Structure 1
Amino acid sequence: MSVFLALQGGSVAAHDMNSRDRDGGIRALGRAPGVLPTGPLNAITDVTGVRVGQVTLNHGENIRTGVTAILPHGGDLFRDKVPAGLKVANGYGKLAGATQIIELGEIESPIVLTNTLSVGAAMEGVVRWTLAQPGHEDIRSVNAVVGETNDGGLNDIRGLHVRPEHVIAAIESATTGPVAEGAVGAGTGTIVFGFKGGIGTSSRQLPQSLGGFNVGVLVQSNYGGLLTIDGVPVGTEIGRYYLKDAVEAEKPDGSIMIVVATDAPLSDRNLERLAERAFAGLARTGAAYSNGSGDYAIAFSTHEGVRRTAARREEQAAVQEWPNDRMSPLFVAVAEATEEAIINSMLKATTTRSVVNGREVVIEALDMEQVRTILDRARPLSARP
């Protein structure tokens, strides 16, 4: 049974996923974005070895935030680095560790997601955890990778409630298996298209004829635009979308962090290309890519043959990489998984209440039955190819 950690009364306790988290998602509506099958879990953890841990801070009248940690594998992340690529669609954000990923094409730490003003605390947590690992007594530099979105619409973000120990707890609780989605972890206080967003995940599996590889995606969704599900402009049907009547506009600003994992043996250059294709899935959901949005995608490979081990770094050992001409199916996989992960982050979220600047705020979750009705009316399942 998958668990996430929630802060209650100042302590961290384990909680099992709620029924909406387990049973919701776009597939509960009979819809399946794209043409490729999912892995067994339909989660980023379908990529063997990838682990996810989350700490949820949801207490009092206005603490609605948390931490989500993604570990590329269960070994020594610093010594056994994974190749990685990064792409930015709009750079209004604070992605710590970005320049070293760009320069060296590798990741040496957990990837941590949190809120905008907690990036510093998250970096401290990652560094403290890394330095404490056995055999790391000689380490004097750690490139902590920390992404964020701004959850200040629901969370007392200025209170700086995320602490390094929360980050360490998320890392140390990380497991393979099902991933809690919706208003959990770093998605506890996020908002998408005016509705409750959060953490979402999905995966795709290529047939053996195309390599048999897995692609998994995890998102922290927090942005605006015109909500589109399965090609249907749901936002216009509901009557909530950016630029409605050009005056009563939903605010489009916000951000999204997209983390992509694959077991395909890709170079950092092709991982950068894979990360870029994640934005195709983001576009399909109706994202505005606004001026005030931070839209980031990080992709890494877990394949043993492309790991940046100490021996390979010193001996310049030959690395067998997947060829450019066979990348297109992986591009399709990441676009499909990103689209579904985002929609799942909304459909698995729950209505969230808070008090911001002395005013009660209620951000509603998408109504599954309302969405079902809109989709069936606009595009009946029997009409799908």
Structure 2
Amino acid sequence: MAVKKKVEKPKNRGGAGDGTFYDKVSKTWGFRAVRDGKDFRRKGFYTKTEAKQARIDFVSEIQAKTEEDKMPQSVNDENSKITLEEVYEHYIKYGSYEKRDATLTKQGSLWKNHIKPAFGDRPITSISSGELKNFLIQLYYQGSEFNRFEESYAYGYVEGFLKFFYLLWGYARRMQWISRDTYCVMCEDKGTKLDMPAKTKEDEDEEKIETYTQEEVKKMMERLKDTNLYTALLLGYYLGVRISECFGLMWSDIKWSEKTITIQRQMLMHSPHRTLCPCKTTAAKREIDIPEPLYMHLKEKKKVQDGNKNYYGTSYRDTECVKVRMKKGQDDDLIGGDFINRMKNGQILTPDSMKSWGVKIKEDLGIHFKYHNLRHTHASFLVAVNCPIPTLMERMGHKKIETTSKYYFGSNEIANDRLKEGLKLLEIQ
């Protein structure tokens, strides 16, 4: 049993001349130190000796920090002209010996294709964390000049830039080319340091695979059958499209004779406009087969929509303005596009239209509804019927095979039923 250390009783309960004091409430010793006008107090020590030694250590630490701040901290004129390219070249020549070849190859690619064109000739002291944060945001949401802004980069890939920036600024600090304050602003201070852009909702949804059983899907279909969003539900289930892709679909994307549909854009909200943008990656642009139940529904939907347009006449509300930004620099207006998802009166439906239904489905059916789970369900069912990985990868619009492979390691209703059927073959008649 641990013996509680006895607290030394103070002879002087006031402040001591050596900076120590006794706290009556906690009945422990503490110390006080003043530095740059700031009063630092610490308590919780059992003896006055402990408090005194702690004060000595604390003051020494502050003094050491102050001395470091006085080091070529006063970045002289020569150092202030050191460019980011000079930092990188010095690091490669003298500071990269411990790095693996694969790491240096990756860093070389990031530098040559992206960082050097954007910041290479700039003095490192002139580059702000805000500029670099905007650079990371552009990479994640739009891409770069290197890929002609044809697709955005994966979150994990962009994280590589963040780590590389930290490395370069840390190396510059060790070489005393930037001050400690400059380094702290870029890499340590919570309010100013460089960090990653917020993840898109789609990336968050892709990380965790949640699926619905066929019975749950059937219930949701019955609940939404007479609503404006029934078609959107079917598109998610039968095609496995993302919600932004679903509401970007137009009738002109369908090849009726071949029973295929092309996924080539997504509808996003760039306040205050609804915007049509390219799919997240080049792999996400794809032409896929339409299952027969969905094909028949879409044929009927087209007839009904054309009939509604004739019925409402000039009151048909298909005159909204949607921004078209399918390539860099484009900012065109699209008035009344031939979108598949419209209300009876012609009003356009958007990804936001599905939000309220999540609550209703939960209340009415007890099912946690998230549109992206229809995509997971679609992929999981195809895996259960032994769809080859390359085929599924193409249909889902995945850029990396690792993303597709996740579905082959899960469990779902169809896969379990097929397994039970297969096990019966083991029976000896």
TM superposition score category, shorter chain reference: under 0.3
Larger radius of gyration: 2
Larger proportion of strand: 1
Higher relative contact order (CA 8 A, sep 6+): 1
TM-score, normalised relative to structure 2: 0.22
State TM-score, norm by structure 1. 0.24
